[in-house]
């Protein structure tokens, strides 16, 4: 009986050891992993958005805006830096996080006032508020892949409204 219990305990330990840390993702650990990413999406004087994006993501991270088009983190970080210049008060807020396995789905909200033309809409001093949905794969505390959609069409409607 003692041998059977020891064997069972050893097997259970092996199963736990073989389970990837990402399978233990909780809302709290997911929030800790993605918070620097959303901080990088939020404009602030002197902030190094690219460094925050790099801190939150693994070197092989890709960001996918569609199922077929994914960009590496260097390209995404450059695009984010450009967006922050175009919308100098951009704020991206985490509204809700849902966790499943090693994935975190984030419902976010972005607000801002473009400093000039934005997606073809002439500068008019108006602001926008949009929703985003992101599905992040998190491994070892870093984001390794993100699928995202943002309601930029809604921003355009708000900015061009009479």
pLDDT confidence of residue 41: 95
- pLDDT of residue 145 exceeding 50: yes
Between 4 and 93, name the one with better pLDDT.
93
pLDDT confidence of residue 45: 83
Question: Mean pLDDT throughout 121-150?
Answer: 96
Question: pTM (2 decimals)?
Answer: 0.82
pLDDT confidence of residue 162: 80
pLDDT confidence of residue 23: 54
- Band (pLDDT 50/70/90 cuts) for residue 44 is confident
- pLDDT of residue 11 exceeding 90: no
Residue spans of the domains in the chain: they are: 21-160
Return mean pLDDT, the chain. Answer: 87
Question: Mean pLDDT throughout 37-55?
Answer: 92
What is the dotted CATH code of the domain comprising 21-160? 3.10.450.50
Q: Summarize pLDDT for 58-85 with one digit per residue, the tens.
A: 999 999 998 889 999 999 999 999 999 9
State the sign of the Cα–Cα–Cα–Cα dihedral 70, 72, 77, 82. Answer: negative
């Amino acid at each position: 009986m003692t041998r059977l219990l020891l064997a069972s305990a050893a097997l259970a330990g092996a199963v736990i050891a073989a389970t990837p840390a990402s399978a233990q993702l909780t809302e709290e650990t997911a929030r800790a992993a993605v918070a620097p990413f959303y901080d990088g999406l939020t404009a602030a004087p002197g902030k190094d958005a690219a460094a925050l994006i790099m801190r939150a993501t693994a070197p092989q991270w890709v960001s996918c805006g569609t199922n077929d088009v994914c960009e590496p983190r260097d390209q995404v970080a450059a695009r984010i830096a450009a967006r922050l210049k175009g919308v100098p008060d951009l704020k991206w807020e985490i509204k809700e996080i849902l966790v499943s396995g090693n994935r975190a789905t984030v419902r976010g909200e972005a607000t801002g006032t473009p400093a000039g033309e934005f997606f073809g809409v002439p500068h008019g001093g108006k602001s926008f508020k949009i929703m985003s949905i992101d599905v992040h794969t998190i491994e070892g505390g870093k984001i390794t892949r993100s699928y995202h959609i943002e309601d930029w069409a809604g921003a355009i409607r708000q900015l061009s409204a009479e």
